[in-house]
C-alpha cells in the first residue's frame, strides 16, 4: 500500500459554502482592499539590526552597572517606587 493522499476526490463543497459566514468589522472593511507585503531591503535590515544590537549593549551596560555600583542600585530602587 502506498502512503500519502488517495486519488479519490471528496466532494465537500456544499459543507464549505454553508460554513462561510458574512465578514464583519475590520475584515469586511479590508475585503476589497489589496494589501501587499514587501520584504525589507538590505539597508533597512542593517539599520534595524544596529538599533537592536545597540539597545542590547545599553541594557547589558545598565545591568552590570546596577549589579556593581551601589549608588546606581539605590537610584533605580528609589525611582522604581
For the segment 4-27, what is each residue's pLDDT rounded down to a tens digit? 666 666 565 555 555 566 667 777
Question: Residue 52, Cβ neighbours under 10 Å: how many?
Answer: 10
Entry pTM: 0.52
Whether 65 has a pLDDT exceeding 80, the answer reads yes
The distance in angstroms from the start CA to the end CA of the chain is 70
- For residues 23 and 31, the answer to whether their CB atoms sit within 8 Å is yes
DSSP 5-62: --S-----HHHHHHH-----THHHHTSS---------HHHHHHHHHHHHHHHHHHHHH
Amino acid at each position: 500500500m502506498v502512503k500519502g493522499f488517495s486519488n479519490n476526490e471528496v466532494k465537500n463543497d456544499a459543507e464549505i459554502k454553508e460554513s462561510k459566514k458574512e465578514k464583519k468589522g475590520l475584515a469586511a472593511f479590508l475585503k476589497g482592499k489589496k494589501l501587499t507585503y514587501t520584504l525589507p531591503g538590505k539597508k533597512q535590515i542593517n539599520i534595524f539590526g544596529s538599533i537592536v544590537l545597540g539597545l542590547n549593549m545599553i541594557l547589558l551596560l545598565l545591568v552590570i552597572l546596577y549589579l556593581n555600583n551601589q549608588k546606581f542600585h539605590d537610584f533605580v530602587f528609589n525611582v522604581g517606587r
